[in-house]
């Protein structure tokens, strides 16, 4: 059964999804598709980032990102105001970042790290 598109709740101006989209789609072979009713970003066929706008009423405007093992725990200790354990994928080490709490350089770093974990060798070669 297809999931309906979720309504925009917190990102009414579209600034945060535009910010995330710009970073993600600048990467080789990256594309955006709607999955589970939310914009998801893929490196080829693998998801590396998911936009989250008040997911199930959690009040968060965030991105969920694939991350190396141990990253979630380290970031939760260092920056609990910026980071959270996202539902469903957090048990697999993904990180949740509050988009309004994180600066562009840090967001870019985490997006690139997530992309590298999902990308094929061919896409990584194109990245340089």
How does residue 4 score in pLDDT terms, banded at 50, 70 and 90? very low
- Separation in Å, CA 79 to CA 76, 82, 83, 95: 6, 5, 6, 12
- Burial per residue of 63-86, b for 16 or more beta-carbon CB atoms within 10 angstroms, e otherwise: bbbbbeeebbeebeeeeeebbbbb
Domains of the chain: 15-123 (3.90.1150.30)
The alpha carbon of residue 124 and the mean position of all alpha carbons in its chain are separated, in whole angstroms, by 18
Residue corresponding to tokens 């970073």: 23
Residues 24-51: tens digit of each pLDDT: 999 999 999 999 889 999 999 999 999 9
Quick: pLDDT tens for 92-119.
999 999 999 999 999 999 999 999 999 9
How far from the centroid of its chain's Cα atoms is residue 29's Cα? 16
């Amino acid at each position: 059964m297809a999931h309906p598109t979720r309504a925009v709740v917190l990102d009414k101006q579209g600034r945060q999804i535009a910010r995330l989209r710009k970073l993600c789609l600048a990467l080789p072979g990256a594309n955006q598709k709607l999955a589970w009713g939310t914009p998801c970003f893929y490196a080829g066929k693998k998801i590396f980032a998911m936009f989250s706008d008040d997911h199930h009423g959690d009040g968060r405007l965030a991105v969920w990102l694939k991350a190396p093992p141990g990253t979630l725990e380290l970031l939760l200790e260092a920056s609990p105001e910026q980071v959270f354990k996202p539902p469903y994928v957090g048990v697999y080490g993904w990180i949740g970042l509050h988009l309004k709490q994180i600066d562009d350089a840090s967001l870019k770093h985490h997006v690139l790290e997530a992309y590298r974990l999902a990308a094929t060798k061919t896409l990584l070669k194109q990245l340089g």
